[in-house]
Structure 1
Amino acid sequence: MPQRIIYLVDTENVGSSWKILLEKKTKNDKIYLFYTENSPHISYADMLEIVQYPNAFEAIPCCTGKNALDFQLASYLGFLVKSAPKTQYCIFSKDTGYDALVSFWSEKGYSVQRLDAVSFEQQKKEETKSKAQTTSLTTMDDQDAKIVRDILARNHEELLDIHNELVQTFGMKKGSVMYKQLKPEIKLAAQQDKQNEVCH
């Protein structure tokens, strides 16, 4: 099961750009919107998009004043971290002042980060790219899969030999990536071969 994510949104800083979180949010995730009378107004277009997710977020009114929302958000984060330590937390803001808060909790072993709309979109692209590059014997093309299976059949006892032959066959970059991503399958195949030898 994917790790639960709680988003804490500084609406004074990001306005309604936080709406991009709604598409990625799973049913286990939570969005807390911290707002004051100084938070920017939401356009009708954004509102029409947001109201499609009525149970996806909780709005938290905050007192106004210099950095008042920031302190209230930081305090609430501390409360959440201690009550649910295994959850992943994301402060959604362009304000780099939160980075000290992120470092504080990260150094104590908690999963806390800060993102804004730009870095969030970049992270999403990288995740998509990473998923697309994932290799397994069932996802690679037939010709490559046949070559890899032949390599595994010849070198099932030594992982280093398999790595070296993959690199010689596919080149350093592609071969190393293939080996890293196929390693669980390679180990499983080796274990099955050993079990078969014992049975016979």
Structure 2
Amino acid sequence: MYIYPTPLIPRVPNGPLVTVAIGRVSKPKESEAKTQLDLQSSFAAVRNVLSGIYDGPLDLTELGEQSSGLIADRATALEAMDLISTGNVDLVIAEDLSKIFRNPRLQWIFVQDAVDVGTRVILFGDNLDTADPDWEIQMGMATLRHGLYIPDARRRVRRTATFSFHKGGHVQKIKYGFRKLSLDEAQSGEYGPVGLEMPQKPGPPL
């Protein structure tokens, strides 16, 4: 983990270090409780890093949710950008770029906008700290590394969706007189093969 030696200093003298921590879980876990546990473990790692580089008063906002990193208007990302745009945030910290966005263009916009208003960004999993005068070099390597996962993820999603569609799942349009089955109904097998979202025999009324 690389942190540039420049100390963290609140822009408001004697005030707390205004910090935004960002977390994200790509896929829902087996339960909402496990999803929240994953998010909380991410924030615990952030707090652990902060405790090692800053010992003053802290105003910490933790923003996290279960969502795809490719979504540009994700709720917590928009909230973070709104907070940064006020010019009152001293630090944005996350495990790595993928916790903020997956799209390289969105990653650059987010980090550059923060730098432009004087907000420091630390992504300890990517060894990225914008206090380093040469931070763009590490940013380029980080965006490349995370961007390489996108084609693989896209291929897996298409593969699974195509397989599901040909098995009767992943239904987007419904024939007149039918309705899309709920997830529980599709898994019950009562209206056709398990996983079928369009009933093949008379099903529940519209």
TM-score, normalised via structure 2 length: 0.32
The structure that has the greater radius of gyration is 1
Greater helix share, structure number:
1
TM-score, normalised via structure 1 length: 0.32
